[in-house]
């Protein structure tokens, strides 16, 4: 059957696969025929994602991406990849008067530094094949301002910037690099924010589509960027935000 969006015969590494967008991406990729290599730092939850994958040939690697040795091991254990979804991320809500170095250290470590080092490691170890595609999970936070969100936004704009540089430096391979920029998504990360249910409901009304995204709606955009359908797309930032930045 003709389907340029298929992931048949593609091996895809997904970080942050134990929940949220990462879990949904692993599940949807597996449904479209990919062999998934999933990674996360919580064994139980990662295993839960693993059990939700369709088809066979998948694997899981436990890793804490804030530990450089774990990144190195992940790079070694990873098979040669056709796709890499660099998705693991954390957030915090801190108004500027209360920003601490430790908040920045933990967010930049997971959201920015780990993606850079892991990407470099996979490239150096020749784990990203010719014609492979890398997708970073950034955020509309990289271009919008919400009170308390400065650190998260800085980490997410940094990773989108890195993506564009990768796109340029590896275009000759070719390896494609793009970022996805979701608005708010119904995940645990959103549930754990300090905002009340009423505040989140009011926030949804700012979205022209009047709701937040489901995780798999972000996964579908990631899949487009992984698939051959986006063969001429590199260095781009794809918004999936229900129109909230209009």
Partner 1 sequence: MDINEFIEKFAEIFEDTDRAEFQADTKFKELDEWSSIMALNVIAMVDDEYDVLLKGDDIRGSETITQLFEIVKSRK
CB atoms within 10 A of CB 59: 15
| CB of 146 or CB of 233, closer to partner 1 | 146
Minimum Å distance from CB 187 to partner 1? 17
| CB of 3 or CB of 192, closer to partner 1 | 192
Residue 185 is given by DSSP the state B
Minimum Å distance from CB 194 to partner 1? 5
Minimum Å distance from CB 200 to partner 1? 9
Contact residues for partner 1, defined by CB under 8 A: 93-95, 97-98, 147-148, 194-199
| CB of 93 or CB of 161, closer to partner 1 | 93
| CB of 90 or CB of 117, closer to partner 1 | 90
Provide the H-helix boundaries in the chain.
Answer: 20-31, 43-51, 68-77, 101-108, 114-124, 150-169, 188-191, 197-204, 215-226
| CB of 98 or CB of 232, closer to partner 1 | 98
Query: What is the C-alpha separation between 67 and 134, in angstroms, rounded?
Result: 21
Give the residue from 93, 182, 176, 92 showing the smallest Cα distance to 137: 182
Minimum Å distance from CB 103 to partner 1? 10
Minimum Å distance from CB 41 to partner 1? 21
Sign of torsion, CA 66 70 76 81? negative
């Amino acid at each position: 059957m003709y389907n340029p969006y298929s992931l048949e015969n593609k091996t895809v590494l997904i970080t942050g696969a134990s929940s949220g967008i990462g879990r949904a991406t692993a599940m949807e990729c597996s449904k479209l025929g990919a062999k998934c290599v999933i990674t996360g730092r919580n064994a139980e939850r990662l295993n839960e994602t693993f059990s939700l994958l369709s088809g066979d040939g998948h694997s899981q690697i436990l890793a804490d991406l804030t530990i450089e040795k774990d990144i190195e091991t992940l790079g070694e254990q990873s098979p040669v990849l056709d796709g890499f979804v660099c998705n693991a991320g954390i957030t915090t809500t801190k108004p500027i008067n209360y920003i601490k170095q430790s908040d920045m250290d933990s967010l930049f470590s997971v959201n920015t530094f780990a993606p850079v080092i892991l990407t470099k490691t996979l490239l150096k170890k020749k784990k990203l094949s010719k014609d492979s595609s890398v997708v970073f999970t950034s955020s509309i936070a990289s271009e919008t301002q919400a009170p308390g969100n400065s650190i998260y936004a800085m980490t997410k704009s940094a990773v989108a910037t890195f993506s564009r540089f990768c796109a340029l430096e590896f275009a000759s391979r070719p390896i494609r690099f793009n970022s996805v920029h979701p608005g708010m998504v119904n995940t645990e990360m959103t549930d754990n924010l300090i905002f009340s249910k009423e505040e989140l409901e009011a926030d949804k009304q700012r979205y022209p589509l009047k709701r937040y995204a489901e995780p798999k709606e972000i996964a579908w955009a990631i899949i487009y960027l992984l698939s051959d359908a986006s063969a001429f797309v590199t260095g781009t930032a794809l918004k999936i935000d229900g129109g909230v930045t209009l």
